[in-house]
A and B are shown apart, each in its own frame.
Chain A
Amino acid sequence: MYRYYDAPFKIVKDGISLTLEQEGERLLYRSVYADKRVEKILLADRGKVLINPIEPLNKPRELTSYLLIEFERTLVVEPGSTKSIFVTYPIEIGVFIAGSNQFELIDILTLAKQKFTLYGDPRSGVICKYWKSEVYSSIPAVNPLHEGIIELSITNTTTGWVEVTKAIFNAYGMKIYYNDNLVSMRATMKIMSGRSAETDFVDAPLEEGMKKSLELYTVRRLPVVAPKFVMEVGI
């Protein structure tokens, strides 16, 4: 599903219906999924549309740029070691209209469950998009329209064993890659103490031949904030 499309086209998959029809000199875009319906008239010469996964922080509302993934099972990390795990994250699909070397977002869809949480206390904490994931030792088979995979490389720089129950990522650093079967990101987590860690992203695909997604958080605005996230009140 993730690729360029020329108008007219119709995609029906996993309960999502996307159409772009020529209506005289204008284009009619329509998306229907779950109980949501969007219709837009595009006044464009060319009907070239890009559909790709985007940072999962826009639905139901853009309240935060942080994604918190809580692990189903607690990880206990050996001191001084670096280990990789795989976790899932919710997928949001961005529909962009392409023209004159510019892309404009016209729609965002998601089939994933939406939930938010608070990291820290109400005064100094941050609101995060919430997702709960099982921890895998290899790439799990998931539906790329529903879930993506993050390969998380965890480095314990401390001298003691550390328990990790969650990871928080900043959308401004996300580097999403996709192919027909997989949507992925690669991230790192550097444990600095029993309660703090720093997360970042690696700009590399999980498998060879994957395409890079158009990043919404750099298309819409320049990143004036650091793409890393420092978890200071518990990991």
Chain B
Amino acid sequence: MTLEIVVYESVTLFDLLMVTLILIIAGIIAKGVALNLRKVLRDKVSKEHLEILAKTIYYSIIGIAVLSVLPILGVPPSGLLVAGGIAGIVIGFASKSVVGNLISGLFLMIERPMKLGDAVNIAGTAGVVEDIHIISTTLRTFDGLYVRIPNEKVFTSDIMDYVAHVARRLEYIIGIRYSDDADKAIGIIRKLSEEHPLTLKHPAGDIFVDNLGDNAVNIMVRIWVPSPEWYGVKKELLWKIKTALEAEGIEIAFPQRTIWFANELTSRGSAHNLPDSDSS
């Protein structure tokens, strides 16, 4: 029969079909288990832990299936160690970057410098961590682009995680006119900060005259907010500060220069066109 055709050594075509079938079934089962796991645990486990769990189970099932079909292919699992050692050296030289990325991926999963969904900046690319694969890490930039970064680059680059800590400080420098009352301005800004529900009570905000600039008295505003709310509060609060200060007669200073002339100036308008008050 066709199925009994020997492909190599004692492995027949039937064996190859059997192996293929087992791997396909294992793949379907692994996918199904991972999918159901995501569904069942979606509300109970954090997205990051769920992804790690689902991936571990997925690759475990695939791994077990691969190991179980090796004897059918005439490869005893014990022989795999020797073959694996030699193959490892060969593959290692042939695919240095792939192995490098793989190892880096494993270290990233152990070290966990960032979590799925974190806003990060990796090697100058800022975005939200979409997934940490075994070979690469994918980001969704803030303008919606998909960026794939090899794990070796991720592992060796500076990673800035904007939300790794639960709280983050935002900072403004508000320049008011020299003629304005800086204490009053500080009071207005402090009141606004305290009234905002998303600014933190502790650590308390730090608002003070930072320096006497060329054109303005510069007030430093430092306020702590929960990290996920940092951007929203930063956008919202600045305009509120500006309008609140203006409502109290305090204006944001703009560059200006006072020029003194040695001689009194007379304009053409005042010399020829102004009505003579005595003649009326």
Q: Which A residues fall within an 8 A CB radius of B?
A: 60-61, 63-64, 113-119, 122-123, 125-127, 130, 220-222, 224
B206 to chain A, nearest CB (A): 14
A122-B166, A126-B166 known; A116 and B201 CB under 8 Å? Answer: yes
- B238 CB–A CB distance under 8 Å: no
Partner of A222, one of B44, B166, B167, B197: B44
Asked if B43 and A116 make an inter-chain contact with CB atoms under 8 angstroms apart, the answer reads: no
- B202 CB–A CB distance under 8 Å: yes
Asked if B200 and A117 make an inter-chain contact with CB atoms under 8 angstroms apart, the answer reads: yes
Contact count A vs B, C-beta below 8 Å: 49
Asked if A117 and B202 make an inter-chain contact with CB atoms under 8 angstroms apart, the answer reads: yes
- B268 CB–A CB distance under 8 Å: no
Q: List 5 A-B contacts (CB under 8 A).
A: A113-B197, A116-B200, A116-B201, A118-B224, A221-B43
Chain A residues lying within 8 Å of B198, measured Cβ to Cβ, are: 60-61, 116
Residue of B nearest to A130 (CB): B201
Asked if B165 and A122 make an inter-chain contact with CB atoms under 8 angstroms apart, the answer reads: yes
- B113 CB–A CB distance under 8 Å: no
Asked if B201 and A127 make an inter-chain contact with CB atoms under 8 angstroms apart, the answer reads: no
Chain B residues lying within 8 Å of A126, measured Cβ to Cβ, are: 166
Asked if B44 and A118 make an inter-chain contact with CB atoms under 8 angstroms apart, the answer reads: no
Q: B residues 204-240 with Cβ under 8 Å of A?
A: 224, 226, 228-229
Asked if A122 and B167 make an inter-chain contact with CB atoms under 8 angstroms apart, the answer reads: yes
Partner of A61, one of B43, B201, B229: B229
- B38 CB–A CB distance under 8 Å: no
Asked if B228 and A63 make an inter-chain contact with CB atoms under 8 angstroms apart, the answer reads: yes
Residue of A nearest to B42 (CB): A221
Chain B residues lying within 8 Å of A127, measured Cβ to Cβ, are: 166-167, 200, 226
Asked if A116 and B226 make an inter-chain contact with CB atoms under 8 angstroms apart, the answer reads: yes
Asked if A224 and B229 make an inter-chain contact with CB atoms under 8 angstroms apart, the answer reads: no
A127-B166, A127-B167, A221-B44 known; A118 and B200 CB under 8 Å? Answer: yes
Partner of B168, one of A122, A125, A220: A122
Cα(A60)–Cα(B45), bound, Å: 24
Chain B residues lying within 8 Å of A224, measured Cβ to Cβ, are: 44-45
Type the 1/0 row for B82-120, where 1 means its CB is closer than 8 Å to any CB of A: 000000000000000000000000000000000000000
Chain B residues lying within 8 Å of A64, measured Cβ to Cβ, are: 226
B250 to chain A, nearest CB (A): 26
Q: B residues 180-211 with Cβ under 8 Å of A?
A: 197-203
